[in-house]
């Protein structure tokens, strides 16, 4: 049974934080689905991941290609990913079901702390998932480094 980790982004944007989390997940040997709601936003993220910056190369693809099942990291808007992930990273308020949290190793929910609507949506997800018996952790970077601020056991 997995857990949901909520990441409250206040210091660094998604395109800086997501590669770090993806590196950690890949280091654990996990296949990952990055789930968003907007195909254009995922296309932008795809380009940002290819350009990389200081981070090492992250092999990935966008859903809908001929090799989706082989992708270690798959960017998708679908609740089902062809790469059979053990970790889902939800961005931009993409929904995650309690059953997914319980079936996967980890679900990461990244949300923009400067957007009041995103914060409210994350709070709603926290309540839904923890009420369903999912283990959850809330991480904040408000101090300049990541700190666990809350935890709910399964």
Q: Which CATH number characterizes residue 77's domain?
A: 3.40.50.10110
Does the pLDDT value for residue 122 go beyond 80?
yes
Reported as a single tens digit per residue, the pLDDT across 74-117 is 999 999 999 999 999 999 999 999 999 999 999 999 999 999 99
Q: Is 50 exposed, middle or buried (0-12, 13-18, 19+ CB in 10 A)?
A: exposed
Which range of residues forms the domain containing residue 49? 3-152
Q: Name the E strands within the chain.
A: 3-9, 32-35, 61-62, 73-76, 87-90, 106-112, 135-140, 147-152
How many structural domains are present in the chain? 1
Reported as a single tens digit per residue, the pLDDT across 2-18 is 999 999 999 999 999 99
């Amino acid at each position: 049974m997995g857990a949901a980790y909520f990441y409250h982004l206040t210091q660094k944007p998604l395109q800086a934080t997501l590669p770090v989390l993806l590196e950690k997940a890949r280091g654990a040997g996990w296949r990952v689905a990055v789930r968003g709601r907007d195909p254009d936003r995922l296309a932008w993220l795809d380009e940002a991941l290819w350009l990389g910056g200081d981070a090492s190369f992250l092999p990935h693809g966008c859903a809908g290609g001929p090799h989706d099942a082989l992708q270690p990291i798959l960017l998708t808007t679908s609740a089902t990913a062809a790469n059979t992930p053990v970790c889902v990273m939800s961005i931009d308020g993409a929904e995650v079901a309690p059953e997914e949290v319980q079936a996967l190793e980890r679900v990461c929910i990244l949300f923009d702390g400067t957007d009041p609507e995103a914060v409210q949506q994350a709070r709603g997800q926290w309540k839904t998932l923890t009420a369903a018996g999912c283990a959850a952790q809330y991480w904040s970077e408000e101090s300049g480094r990541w700190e666990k601020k809350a935890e709910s056991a399964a």
